[in-house]
Amino acid sequence: MCKDESVLQIQVQRLYRLIIYFKWLIVLLLWSSVGSLSIWSLRREISLWLDHFTWISVRYSLAYNKLSAVGLGLCLGTTTAILVWQSRHILWGISPEEQKRLEQQVRQINHQGETHPLWRWVIQDNSN
């Protein structure tokens, strides 16, 4: 492997790590905004669940509070999707198609130069 290839692979790993951080940041923002508002609007029902928990009470609470149910579903769905996506990469590695897409993105960031918003985290050598 030549020096350019090893540098490209390091930059691809930086971009991949940045994508992971960004996805988890989205999850954190969703839970702190939409999730907390949804849970807050279910506070009366949650207090009832703590006293007498049944799955039917959960079902009816979510059925009569559709906006809260959609908000919690969005948060849970996004979290689950990212967990599955990241677990797949941990277990089986990045697919060749995705590796190629990441390499193309790194080349595009490198081609655009310092004007690209991700250049300083992906391309710039931080060892200085």
The alpha carbon of 23 is separated from its chain's Cα centroid by a whole number of angstroms, namely: 2
pLDDT for position 2: 53
Query: 114, 19 in Cβ contact below 8 A?
Result: no
pTM for the whole thing? 0.83
CA gap 107, 118 in Å, rounded: 12
Residue 113: inside a domain:
yes
| Residue 128 belongs to some domain of the structure | no
To the nearest 10 degrees (0 to 180), the angle between helices 66-92 and 55-64 is 110
In a domain, 57, yes or no: yes
Angle at 29 between CA 73 and CA 46, to 5 degrees: 45
* pLDDT tens digit sequence for 86-107: 999 999 999 999 999 999 999 9
Number of compact structural domains in the chain: 1
Residue 48 is assigned to a structural domain of this protein: yes
